[in-house]
Chains A and B, each alone.
Chain A
Amino acid sequence: MSWSSLINILFIALHAMVPITLTAVGEIVGETAGLFNIGLEGMLLLSAFMGVIGAEHAGPIVGLLVGAGTGALVGLVFSIISTYWKGNQMITGIGINLFAAGAVAYSFVVLGRPGYRLLDAADRLPAIRTPSGGLSPIIFVAILVPFLVYWFLKRTRAGLILKAAGEAPEAADVAGINVNRMRLLATTFGGLLAGLAGAYMSISWVGSVTKGLSAGRGFISLAIVVFSGLNPILALVGGFIYGIFQSLAIWIKNTPGITFLPWQVFDMLPYIVTLLVVAGVIGRVRFPKALGTPYKRE
């Protein structure tokens, strides 16, 4: 393995890390407040698609904003259903995934090109040029956001209130905290980050959107949240580990001469590693007491 291919693997890993880390950090905020959102996968796909539509009309920055806005909107719908309407979060999330898959496939056909949408080079987010290749600016956002969110959750009063809404909603309610509103804000913010992650994938990283673009990344993010134990900085680490394995799989597939295993095995690798990591850390991780249950006043 030469020096340049090592750099190459690192660059791909950094790019692959971004959607996982951003989505996982958003979900950490939501889970801290007590909402479990399995609809992340659908949010990623929907915002990746909407982001491309936005970028086609008004350039990459607007595309990213449209994507983030789409994610926030879906997060808002999810949180209204699972707070004020006391809906089942698991079923709402499954519904969001089914809806997103259907809506994106439908829109592809309605807009004329079934299954695929390629962005013009001018509508893609420009990469930062380095001697060894381009780096997406969003990578630095994805590295910065976990630290900001860590600071917010551990060091601010608002972060503590959020935690109270997830740990002991009754006590928080008695203390005058509007539990449902806190949860709504947390999940909407989580949706915003997932939306940014989705738009990053289509506008900055891949440069196109397909029905399969999200490829289970929403679910992998959920697994990374488990790995992190709701610590955003560990979500950054988990996202990077995932990125390394994704990158290795791509590198091995593109390297002639490695035939001792079929390429499909390497495609499985990120999922197998995610599963092993989750199985390995579980037990030492503690989640908010009220996670996944709507808050009802007695």
Chain B
Amino acid sequence: MSERELLAQDIKGALKRGLFGLSPIAESLVAAALGLIIGAIIMALSGFDPIVAYAALLKGGFASTYALATSAARATPLLLTGLTFAICVRAGMFNIGAEGQMYMGALAAVTLSYFVLPPGLYQIVGILFAMTAGALWSLIPALLRVFRGVSEVISTIMFNWISHFLAFYLIAKILVDPARSSQTVRVPVAARFPILIPRTDLSYALFAALAFAILIYVLLWHTPTGYEIRAAGLNPRAAKYGGIKSKRTMIMSFLLGGMSAGLAGAAMAMGTPPSYAVFAGLSQIANLGFNGMAVAMVGRNHPIGMIASALLFGGLAAGAREMQISAGVPVEMVGVVQGVIVIALAVPELLRIFRIFRKRWPRLFGRRAEV
């Protein structure tokens, strides 16, 4: 082999490595594409035009300042509930409890209206209330896991249901608005996050979410505590051998996750015009915790990647309304797409399967494969 050929091979190899280096991102993109394709098939089967639908989705999610602002507003709580899941995955656990912890956070933020505080303190106190409530709600599953060995998957799900009915009770009986029985008291004006772009839902809650994501990134990747959490997640036995206290890292990651979910609740209660309250039936916050898990997975459980994926799912949620209005496709389609994306992401060999498929594709149509 001549020197030139060797060089060419080197360059080819480097290019390939470059692509492989990006493989987490590529995997997320392939999964997202797969979700959209299967969504399109289901839409076509039920009599809708997928191209019209996706054009509307894109328009409603990303094509104007209003659309982008709405997407970012939808992305804000998803980023935070996603972090709940991601932090615990990094610590080697599956915390499905963001949903309930977020309810608790939102209701804790609403209680602000019973307090009289100096005007500047409301937002800080509201955030602290919500984060504390979320963290406390995640503490019991964490303790059950550490001291009784109860699977956190089961305990957090049971806690979601307990908090579901607890929230119903609190909204109906304790925190109810005397003027409107279908919702809680409203967060006082001084405690509301100011609106960032007029006539949209986008508030300064976005910055709170972004700041928390960056904080988690710094904590997990640039501090000894974060190193311990990630080490315990990657290889619990080696971490233990290395002197890392696994009980401590477990409880820590659960508390951080609870704080994040609580903050998501605060972002919803204190940053969603026009109600600034929690409705009976939890209509405006239900499922944000579950959908956050999809955000975490597509963002590869990395806070920075999740900012991008939260915007993607926020855009899907925002665009779904436009899709319903102009293409007639029910907004629930987005849930289908999201489910397929997550299932696709569970397959570690997705890219390999995709590549084999791509190689065989031209042959199917009678052309020679180039690769």
Q: Which residues does A use to contact B, with CB under 8 Å?
A: 38, 81-82, 85-92, 94-103, 105-106, 108-110, 215-216, 219-220, 222-223, 226, 262, 264-265, 267-268, 271-272, 274-275, 278-279, 282-283
Complex Cα distance A216/B332, Å? 20
Stretch at the interface among B205-213, B268-276, B340-348, B360-368: B340-348
Please name 14 further chain A to chain B contacts, defined as beta carbons within 8 Å, in addition to the given A98-B293, A106-B336, sorted by A numbering.
A87-B346, A87-B347, A96-B343, A100-B339, A101-B290, A101-B335, A105-B330, A106-B333, A216-B157, A262-B169, A264-B168, A268-B161, A278-B150, A278-B151
Select one of A92, A105, A216, A267 contacting B343, CB under 8 A. Answer: A92
How many Å from the CB of A30 to the closest CB on chain B? 15
Select one of A38, A86, A282 contacting B149, CB under 8 A. Answer: A282
Select one of A38, A99, A220 contacting B336, CB under 8 A. Answer: A99
Binary flags per residue of B320-362, CB closer than 8 Å to A gives 1, else 0: 0000000000101111111111111111110001000000000
Closest to A272 in B: B162
Select one of B148, B151, B291, B348 contacting A88, CB under 8 A. Answer: B348
Taking CB atoms, residues of chain A closer than 8 Å to B348 are 85-88
Select one of A110, A267, A271, A282 contacting B148, CB under 8 A. Answer: A282
The answer on a CB contact under 8 Å between A95 and B340 is: yes
Taking CB atoms, residues of chain B closer than 8 Å to A97 are 290, 339
Given A264-B166, A268-B162, also A275-B149 (CB < 8 A): no
Complex Cα distance A81/B172, Å? 44
The answer on a CB contact under 8 Å between A88 and B155 is: no
Closest to B297 in A: A91
Taking CB atoms, residues of chain B closer than 8 Å to A282 are 148-150
Whether, in the assembled complex, B8 has its beta carbon less than 8 Å from a beta carbon of chain A, the answer is no
Whether, in the assembled complex, B94 has its beta carbon less than 8 Å from a beta carbon of chain A, the answer is yes
Complex Cα distance A272/B157, Å? 11
Taking CB atoms, residues of chain A closer than 8 Å to B336 are 99, 102-103, 106
Select one of B335, B346, B349 contacting A91, CB under 8 A. Answer: B346
Select one of A81, A105, A223, A264 contacting B335, CB under 8 A. Answer: A105
Of residues 35 to 58 in B, which have CB atoms within 8 Å of A's CB atoms? 42, 46-47
How many Å from the CB of A214 to the closest CB on chain B? 12
The answer on a CB contact under 8 Å between A94 and B332 is: no
Q: Summarize B's interface: helix, strand, loop or mixed.
A: helix
Whether, in the assembled complex, B221 has its beta carbon less than 8 Å from a beta carbon of chain A, the answer is no
Complex Cα distance A103/B35, Å? 13
Taking CB atoms, residues of chain A closer than 8 Å to B172 are 264
The 9 A-B pairs of least Cβ separation, nearest first, read A102-B335, A99-B339, A95-B342, A95-B343, A109-B330, A91-B346, A98-B339, A105-B332, A264-B169
Total A-B pairs, Cβ < 8 A: 144
The answer on a CB contact under 8 Å between B347 and A102 is: no
A-B contact pairs, 20 of them (CB 8 A): A91-B342, A91-B346, A95-B346, A98-B294, A98-B335, A99-B335, A99-B340, A99-B342, A100-B339, A101-B339, A103-B335, A105-B332, A216-B160, A219-B157, A264-B165, A264-B169, A268-B165, A271-B161, A279-B150, A283-B148
Taking CB atoms, residues of chain B closer than 8 Å to A82 are 346
Complex Cα distance A279/B141, Å? 10
How many Å from the CB of B152 to the closest CB on chain A? 11
How many Å from the CB of A269 to the closest CB on chain B? 9
Whether, in the assembled complex, B158 has its beta carbon less than 8 Å from a beta carbon of chain A, the answer is yes
How many Å from the CB of B169 to the closest CB on chain A? 4
Taking CB atoms, residues of chain B closer than 8 Å to A267 are 165
Closest to B170 in A: A264
Whether, in the assembled complex, B173 has its beta carbon less than 8 Å from a beta carbon of chain A, the answer is yes
The answer on a CB contact under 8 Å between A222 and B153 is: yes
The answer on a CB contact under 8 Å between A219 and B154 is: yes
Whether, in the assembled complex, B117 has its beta carbon less than 8 Å from a beta carbon of chain A, the answer is no
Of residues 282 to 305 in B, which have CB atoms within 8 Å of A's CB atoms? 287, 290-291, 293-294, 297
The answer on a CB contact under 8 Å between A81 and B148 is: no
Complex Cα distance A96/B144, Å? 27
The answer on a CB contact under 8 Å between A223 and B154 is: yes
Taking CB atoms, residues of chain A closer than 8 Å to B349 are 85-86
- Among A92, A106, A215, A282, residue most surrounded by chain B Cβ atoms (within 10 Å): A106
Taking CB atoms, residues of chain B closer than 8 Å to A108 are 332
Complex Cα distance A219/B353, Å? 31
Taking CB atoms, residues of chain A closer than 8 Å to B47 are 110
Taking CB atoms, residues of chain B closer than 8 Å to A279 are 144, 148, 150, 155
Select one of B96, B169, B335, B345 contacting A265, CB under 8 A. Answer: B169
Complex Cα distance A79/B53, Å? 32
Taking CB atoms, residues of chain A closer than 8 Å to B339 are 95-103
The answer on a CB contact under 8 Å between A85 and B154 is: no
Taking CB atoms, residues of chain B closer than 8 Å to A86 are 347-349
Closest to A215 in B: B161
Select one of A102, A272, A274 contacting B334, CB under 8 A. Answer: A102
Complex Cα distance A232/B60, Å? 51
Taking CB atoms, residues of chain B closer than 8 Å to A220 are 158
